[in-house]
Amino acid sequence: MPELQLLRADHAPALLAFECENRDFFAASLPDRGDAYFAEFDTRHQALLDEQAAGTIAFHVLVDETTGEILGRFNLIDIADGTAELGYRLAEKATGQGHATTAVRDLCTLADTRYGLHTVHAETTLDNAASRGVLARTGFVPTGTKDFGGLPGITYARHSEAA
């Protein structure tokens, strides 16, 4: 069973493999990270760990406990004043198995209990039915619309059960 883990330095090789193996899959629905992202991966990974230590982001990876392979990223960014933005991506081979829903639900629990957040925001394109389904199943409610470079999108919010 996959486990949601806080991003660590030793995740770097598996995380880079995850990003490389799924680059085309992600680029079909998200802007591509570009070649520089991959060329400068180690430097960027350390910078993210430094930001995480400062408390402005909380990056998590979904790890297959048997193989150590990373199956997804589930992140809270722009943490401030009890709120954060949720972002996530799941490996193509891990889709359709409930992993995203479980990981987002687990991350929302951490948002409430570990990070003290009262509101988590998310957004997705209108044509991303899978992401919209994950958000709906995990307690996010639509709050508005957004343009993603010409693609219509929806914004969401989830309020802490403790709020």
Name the superfamily (CATH) of residues 2-117.
Gcn5-related N-acetyltransferase (GNAT) (3.40.630.30)
- Give the integer Cα–Cα distance in Å for 110 and 6: 11
Residue 63 · residue 10 · CB < 8 Å = no
Please tell me the pTM assigned to this model: 0.94
Total number of residues shown for the chain: 163
Confidence band, pLDDT 50/70/90 cuts, at residue 32: confident
Q: How far is CA 137 from CA 57, 78, 84, 100, 108, in A?
A: 24, 23, 19, 10, 12
pLDDT digits (tens, 9 = 90+) for 41-65: 999 999 999 999 999 999 999 999 9
Which 3 state secondary structure label does DSSP give 161?
A: coil
In this structure, is the dihedral angle defined by the CA atoms of residues 72, 78, 79 and 84, taken in order, positive or negative? Answer: negative
What percent of the chain is modeled with pLDDT above 90?
Answer: 88
pLDDT digits (tens, 9 = 90+) for 14-30: 999 999 999 999 988 77
